[in-house]
A = this chain, B = another copy of it.
């Protein structure tokens, strides 16, 4: 059985005010062109179809066109879930009709327990949910974290798992070991939101959405597809595409297929005086691509942006390199993920002020962090 695993389309996303709709159309039309050639059984879209709970009219039209082309015109079954960016109620409009045409879209936690039987596979569609929903569903106040809530949900699924079938889970969550990009950072504080990878072990394939880096998790059958486009400069280095999965009960072959981008993102680290040469400029599709510039040699240059934009019109960020080296040197992304919120604040205070927190400061922080964690899980 062959299927495509994609996620995090974020239709309607803007990049610092710049509309990406045509970029999204370009990339996703290429995805559909691949699908038509590949003779696949179905496509999985693991959440965040839209970027906003109330998408624009134009975003609504584009997503409809893509889904109609896949499911109505080409009869490709779709297995999809809502992500944290989708409004479940708005996304669910039409679902009762979709499912009659092999387009399965789950937006409610309780739907995760209704497996969909497709050929040799049982497919479980677990939409993005908050711990409070699991607490209500199971009437269990102990489910205060994403990890405990997700574990409880998966255990419930396991109760009726038919291990002779190919069991596929589709979920939109932050599985531990994942590397965040800027696009998701705002929704994750410390390690509160992580879900342990071990709880998914009984599935034959887990198609994840939420993190935009396809390599965010290093596991042979539990995978992120990543987003089909880069949505922040921290994703500039990620390869963007989808996963093509060929699965039987005993075998799993999976391949990451890169998608051609309309406009790429570049983090350029260079000296201000070097970037205006033709040779430097022509390393890029400089008229179209997006640039974040981190430049040395800006001392004494007043208002450098107009000149930079003359050469690289879509320059969206400009940082001074020397400044960045000082302030950011102690913040390593992987290291941050292993620390508690309290440790992070202590470290930040130490770096910036040059001394340790007083006992009174520390006690106040402990109380505050606890309050925030309780709030977050409510």
Copies in the complex: 2
Any chain B CB within 8 A of the CB of A92?
A: yes
Contacts of A71 in B (CB 8 A): 97
In the complex, which range does the number of interface residues on chain A fall in? 20 to 34
A356 to B315 CA separation, bound complex (whole angstroms): 64
Given A54-B54, A57-B87, A87-B57, check contact A97 B93 (CB 8 Å): no
Known: A54-B54, A100-B100, A101-B100. A60 touches B90 (CB 8 A): yes
A22, CB-defined interface residue at 8 Å:
no
Q: Mark A67-84, 1 if CB is under 8 A from B, else 0.
A: 010011000000000000
Query: Is A98 part of the contact surface with B, judged by Cβ < 8 Å?
Result: yes
CB distance from A276 to the nearest CB of B (A): 44
Evaluate contact between A101 and B97: CB separation under 8 angstroms: yes
The answer on a CB contact under 8 Å between A93 and B93 is yes
Which chain B residues border A97 with CB–CB below 8 Å?
Answer: 71-72, 94, 97-98, 100-101, 103
Q: Which of B64, B90, B98, B103 contacts A57 (CB 8 A)?
A: B90
Docked-complex contact B60 and A93, CB < 8 angstroms: yes
A99-133 CB contacts (< 8 Å) to partner B: 100-101, 103
A336 within 8 A of B: no
Q: Which of chain B's residues have a CB closer than 8 A to the CB of A270?
A: none
The yes or no answer to A372 lying at the interface (CB within 8 A) is no
User: Residue A89 at the B interface, CB < 8 A?
Assistant: yes
Q: Is A369 an interface residue when CB atoms closer than 8 A count as contact?
A: no
Q: Which A residues from 21 to 75 make CB contacts under 8 A with B?
A: 54, 57, 60-61, 64, 68, 71-72
The chain A residues found within 8 Å of chain B, CB to CB, are: 54, 57, 60-61, 64, 68, 71-72, 87, 89-90, 92-94, 96-98, 100-101, 103
